[in-house]
Structure 1
């Protein structure tokens, strides 16, 4: 499919692991279109933003934490054809994930009326038991130094 035949969404996320080997995740409410799932803190990059600025903004909105953006962990993409997208244009999400370090704040979403209902820490060893997005699997695989499980 040619790039003019689908819409692209650039999104920026943070992979934050604490000293207890826990991963910070956010609960996406699905906005009435999908079942709620745990995902990485982050989201869409605004037109005027750099990716790193979006990471900082999105993490604060969804988790209540201020972060320092670290090295790039991975870039991943996912998409749907027009047929898979109920006849609408095709769609491709380009997901940029940086490691990040918490520098302040308090756990709790600050987002009002958005797609995030909650933020919580989960031991890396238990993440596979959650209802989660594919991005979580990709990130956990990268954190463990291999492909997603």
Structure 2
């Protein structure tokens, strides 16, 4: 399939682990589908004019309140699905490809608290890595942590 035949979303995410083995996560409120709410890595869509690095740092700040520095790329992850494109005048189902770059990052300043207004992130918290099995969370957390563990 030619790249012009599907929609693509580029996103950047960060694995941020503190000395207490807690990971910084964002609460995705599900947007228009509250039943899909869950914990996820801080991050999100990269704007057209941004580098992946700058967009990831912006997303961390918006979702957690913290300033961060990217340490290194950990992994990439892609997935495909069919999605209805509501941005068009008519609802059209087009193939969709999500491309995610996951970085290791550390906090350089700021204060815990989401800066996003009327967005899909309600809050951010530090959660013990060992507690993730007991909470609803996005697969990207497992992907990011697996890569982080392999790199440490």
TM-score by length of 1: 0.90
**What secondary structure is seen at the aligned counterpart in 2 of 1:132?**
coil
- Partner Cα distance (2:75, 2:60) in 1: 17
Match in the other structure for 2:72: 71
1:47 counterpart = 2:48: yes
Q: C-alpha offsets along residues 30-81 of structure 1, whole Å, 9 cap, x if unaligned?
A: 1122520110000110111001101111000000000011100111111203
Moved more, 93-102 or 31-40: 31-40
Match in the other structure for 1:97: 102
Q: C-alpha offsets along residues 98-144 of structure 1, whole Å, 9 cap, x if unaligned?
A: 11110001000000011101101111111122111111111122122
Match in the other structure for 1:120: 125
1:140 counterpart = 2:145: yes
Match in the other structure for 1:18: 18
- Partner Cα distance (1:138, 1:61) in 2: 22
- Partner Cα distance (2:57, 2:73) in 1: 14
Q: CA RMSD in A?
A: 1.8
Cα deviation, residue 20, structure 1 = 0.5
Query: Gaps spanning 5+ residues in structure 1: where?
Result: none
